């Protein structure tokens, strides 16, 4: 039986350190499913593992793409499953780690099949969104798939504020004439492994303090210079993320540097809260305090791999 040890939790909680300890113990590799760490131009602002950490165990999907490439969660699912099949042929225990819940779900459960949508429909939705804002997308989803809209409103309200996700829901509705939710659960995704899901958490104040300190370290390590080099490409999807958007506003003269840094801390704290909300819904996850001795976690995992 193949086992995929999956480490989840909010940013700055210690997932990288634990993954390396486990990789050394089980003599296996680490797959990253942090959607921000895929891009080689973004290292400081995404807290990508440093050289010593990368040398400590084999890593995959770390800085393997460019911000100029169009890389989707579907692309990642296919590449990750192919890599896992290869790795499992040598060792029946492997590790996946990251804070991107959608990408974790892609590997563990897979995605449903959705039909291709004509580009003209997508362009029309983009134009209407630019004119009318997120309310337009919300109203369209409510009109075409009221049950799914209510489900999001109850279980995952932040998704209703996410333009990219909302555009996708609406384009499927408009392009097919069917509710987006009618395509969910139609496809059976087979996985040749059993997940062992480890969650790391901390008291909220501890988590927030760790985030604030990490941002200060990023600034000292050169985040300002990294963001400055990326500023000409601020329109790219890969750069629509915390840690860069705030500094782009500073470079554009909209805010002071001090304000931008405080916004990075605030928005990262909000991001961590959303991560926890997402991951706490993960079935069969076992949660440990971030200070738990690694030996205790290893013992738990070994009890599940026998």
Q: Hey, is 263 helix, strand or coil?
A: helix
Q: Is 55 exposed, middle or buried (0-12, 13-18, 19+ CB in 10 A)?
A: exposed
Annotated binding site for ATP: 9-16
Q: Are 6 and 198 in contact (CB under 8 A)?
A: yes
Tokens of 189: 């995704």
Q: Are 167 and 94 in contact (CB under 8 A)?
A: no
Annotated binding site: 9-16
Q: Are 3 and 92 in contact (CB under 8 A)?
A: yes
Strand ranges, E, within the chain: 3-8, 30-32, 59-60, 93-97, 194-201, 286-289
Tokens of 287: 């949660």
The Cα-based distances of 300 to 52, 97, 286, 296 in angstroms read: 27, 17, 10, 6
List, in order, residues 6 or more apart from 58 with CB less than 8 Å away: 23, 29, 30
Annotated binding site for substrate: 11-16
Q: Which of 103, 96, 83 is nearest to 23 (CA)?
A: 96
Tokens of 196: 């062992």
State residue 243 phi and psi, 5-degree precision.
100, -25
């Amino acid at each position: 039986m193949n086992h995929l040890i999956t480490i989840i939790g909010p940013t700055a909680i210690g997932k990288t350190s634990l993954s390396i300890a486990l990789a050394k113990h089980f003599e296996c590799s680490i797959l990253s499913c942090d959607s921000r760490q895929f891009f080689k131009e973004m290292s400081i602002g995404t807290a990508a593992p440093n050289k010593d950490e990368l040398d400590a165990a084999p890593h995959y999907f770390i800085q393997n793409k460019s911000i100029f490439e169009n890389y989707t969660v579907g692309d990642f699912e296919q590449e990750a499953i192919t890599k896992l099949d290869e790795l499992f042929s040598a060792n029946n225990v492997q590790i996946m780690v990251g804070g991107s819940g959608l990408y974790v779900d892609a590997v563990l459960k897979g995605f449903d099949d959705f039909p291709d949508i004509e580009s003209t429909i997508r362009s029309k939705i983009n134009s209407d969104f630019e004119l009318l804002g997120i309310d337009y997308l919300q109203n369209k989803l409510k009109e075409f798939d009221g049950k799914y809209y209510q489900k999001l409103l109850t279980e995952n309200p932040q998704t209703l504020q996410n333009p990219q996700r909302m555009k996708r829901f609406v384009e499927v509705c408009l392009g097919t004439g069917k509710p987006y939710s009618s395509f969910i659960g139609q496809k059976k995704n087979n996985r040749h492994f059993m997940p062992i899901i480890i969650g790391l958490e901390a008291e909220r104040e501890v988590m927030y303090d760790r985030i604030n300190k990490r941002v200060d370290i990023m600034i000292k390590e050169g985040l300002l210079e990294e963001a400055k080099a990326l500023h000409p490409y601020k329109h790219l999807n890969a750069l629509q993320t915390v840690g860069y958007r705030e500094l782009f506003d500073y470079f554009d003269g909209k805010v002071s540097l001090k304000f931008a840094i405080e916004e990075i801390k605030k928005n990262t704290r909000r991001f961590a809260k959303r991560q926890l909300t997402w991951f706490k819904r993960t079935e069969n996850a076992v949660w440990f305090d971030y200070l738990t001795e690694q030996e205790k976690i290893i013992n738990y995992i070994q009890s599940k791999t026998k």
